[in-house]
Chains A and B, each alone.
Chain A
Amino acid sequence: MSAAAASPPAIAAPGGIASALRRPGTLTIWRWELRKLIAQKRTYLGLAIGMVFPLLFVVAQHLRHHHGHEGGNIFFAQITQSGLATPVLTLIFEGAFFLPLAVVLVAGDIVATEDGNGTLKTILTRSVDRGQVFAAKTLAALTYAAVVVFVSAIVATIAGVASWGFNHVTTFSGSVVPPGEALLLVLAANACYLIPIAAVVSIGVLLSTVTHNSAAAVVGTLAVTLVLALIPVIPGLEGAKPYLLTTEYNSWQGLLRTPTDWGPILHSLWVCALYAVPCLAGAYLVFLRRDVAGG
């Protein structure tokens, strides 16, 4: 610094220049949230879960097929006839636990880790409002969730098609759809699956904001989803099933019926909103008002 101090460029702004700066938008912050995610190892752990599960599933089906077992699900029955049955089956199995786990690794971390490292105070003393930072972080967690879900679906589709071909499939209601349409249905099913996943992300963001601790937020969110999954098993609480977030993990299956059954999807929209909206609203208020004293 001393050498630079000897022949310095001017640093100070004449009064008023700083106030003339154009304030950045939420999308700018969101892009940087994504860049931060790209630079962190944790991000790839969740992605790896989403990629490895379909591959393990395909390998398992190869082994299973050799042993001559058959499953009860209509897509199980046709797994060796069309590779497009694979992404449907992986979404059923992965969707109940592994994909929520993968997305929550980031959602539970996204506020807490910055709090712990003290970088929250670094970004909150720039020209952005707390509300913008919160919105960008939530958007980034949702973006990551969408990427994980679709990467998983793409890996499952490629592995399935490579193993068993790009052929027509039979839907839950028994009608046969050509492979191109089946592929679109697979993509649409994954898009519908994002509805409950968004609610899971919202719980993760809430716990990340409230606990200041990413491990607690990740484990807490998974614990909440497990409890929700167990409630219908308890005698007397079966009636709660249609209102549980975990039930909505399978609402996309309405797309794979002929004619398309929109009922479960519309139902999942409002049920998931019942979870997501209060969580995000609570997290937002806590984030706006909290003392940032970490680091």
Chain B
Amino acid sequence: MTEDAVSGEQAPPVRARGLVKRYDEVLAVDHVDLNVRAGDVYGFLGPNGAGKTTTLRMALGLITPSEGSVELFGRDPLRQGARALEGVAGFVEAPRFYPYLSARKNLELLAALDGGGARERIGEVLEIVELTPRAAHRVGGYSHGMKQRLGIAAALLRRPRLLILDEPATGLDPGGMRDMRLLIRRLAGEGITVLLSSHQLPEVQELCDRVAIVDSGRVVYEGALADLRRQGGAGYRLRTTDDTRALGVLGEQTGIEHAAAGEHGLGFQAEEPAVGALSLALAHAGVGILALTPELATLEDLFFRLTEGDAADGSADGSVDATPAQTAARDAVQVG
């Protein structure tokens, strides 16, 4: 989204510009820009220690940026305090509660701090996270997974339009992770914008439509997940009646790269127009096409290319050694 596009519309749920957080000599967050649009399920992806939680803390006004600014629906949490958090809910790191109070009492307290009709929704949100039977028990005796669910319940009390969740599935068992994903998908389906920080790639791949990938405090990609996957490694798998001849044709065609024979046929990388020309060339050479299937790179491939490749060449921008995915990332960031 360009600057001009933003100014012409309703303020976006999250808009961060040049966010920096320095702790003495350590640069935890390094000029991070984020653009979360209304309706996004936005994945905030990065290895542990990449600066995700620090960025979210700044977004919620819990810590002060060393430089830069962040706005939630056009309001600055630092300057406007609680007013900037209207319509915003969630948690950073693990959700924390008063261990000596029951889950219901904790929610009553938070509802009192929310005002409005939050208190009347306590039964409903407990039901949603399936904690009603344990609502009278002290939170001190809760498992990690139950506390995560209570964190979601506490967030839903505020009827958020933006939900900020920091690693919500961390520490959950497979069933709990599945339930968490179902819930997030359902909330997104109801029109809630979700900013989901995670280092669990399948979770992000399954849930998110747009992502920011951070590494060592810097955003190395921001944009649509589909674009990243397409630009970052669009490949094709080809099965023919004569793979040996087909490989020869592939080698002669312009716009076809990295052609190689593999266990399940031939693989190559190309843009769509080159693929059209290839199919004609194959027919001309008398090679029948049995299957020609696009293969998008997985998020995992891209993530490691962006984060580990980045570490190897030391710079995300301007390096001649940049991977195709990094080049795509730069393009996407510039247009994003």
Residues of A within 8 A of B174 (CB): none
Q: Are A123 and B161 in contact (CB under 8 A)?
A: no
Q: Are B130 and A3 in contact (CB under 8 A)?
A: yes
The yes or no answer to B179 lying at the interface (CB within 8 A) is yes
With contact pairs A13-B161, A24-B115 given, residues A39 and B93 touching in the complex (Cβ less than 8 Å):
no
Least distance between B105 CB and chain A CB atoms (Å): 8
The yes or no answer to B82 lying at the interface (CB within 8 A) is yes
Q: Are B154 and A122 in contact (CB under 8 A)?
A: yes
How many angstroms between the C-alpha atoms of A31 and B113 in the bound complex? 11
- In this complex, the interface size class of chain B, counting residues with CB under 8 Å from chain A, is 35 or more
The yes or no answer to B325 lying at the interface (CB within 8 A) is no
How many angstroms between the C-alpha atoms of A20 and B86 in the bound complex? 9
Q: Are B112 and A32 in contact (CB under 8 A)?
A: yes
CB closest residue in chain B, given A28: B112
CB closest residue in chain A, given B183: A1
Least distance between B320 CB and chain A CB atoms (Å): 39
How many angstroms between the C-alpha atoms of A129 and B86 in the bound complex? 12
Q: Are B63 and A293 in contact (CB under 8 A)?
A: yes
Interface string of B104-132 (1 = CB under 8 A from A): 01000110111111100000110111100
Q: Are B82 and A127 in contact (CB under 8 A)?
A: yes
How many angstroms between the C-alpha atoms of A118 and B91 in the bound complex? 11
CB contact between A32 and one of B62, B109, B124, B190 (< 8 Å): that residue: B109
With contact pairs A125-B90, A127-B115 given, residues A17 and B159 touching in the complex (Cβ less than 8 Å):
yes
Residues of A within 8 A of B86 (CB): 18-19, 21, 127
CB closest residue in chain B, given A123: B113
Q: Are B101 and A39 in contact (CB under 8 A)?
A: yes
The yes or no answer to B199 lying at the interface (CB within 8 A) is no
Least distance between A220 CB and chain B CB atoms (Å): 25
Residues of A within 8 A of B191 (CB): 12
How many angstroms between the C-alpha atoms of A22 and B101 in the bound complex? 25
Q: Are A119 and B96 in contact (CB under 8 A)?
A: yes
Least distance between B65 CB and chain A CB atoms (Å): 10
With contact pairs A32-B113, A289-B64 given, residues A12 and B190 touching in the complex (Cβ less than 8 Å):
yes
11 residue pairs bridging A and B, Cβ less than 8 Å apart: A3-B130, A4-B128, A4-B130, A12-B159, A13-B159, A32-B112, A39-B105, A118-B94, A122-B95, A126-B82, A127-B114
Residues of A within 8 A of B (CB): 1-5, 8-13, 15, 17-24, 28-29, 31-32, 35-36, 39-40, 117-119, 121-130, 289, 291-293, 295
Residues of B within 8 A of A (CB): 57, 60-64, 81-82, 85-101, 105, 109-110, 112-118, 124-125, 127-130, 149, 154, 156, 158-161, 178-180, 182-183, 186-187, 190-192
- Which 5 interchain pairs have the tightest Cβ spacing? A21-B116, A118-B96, A13-B159, A12-B190, A1-B179
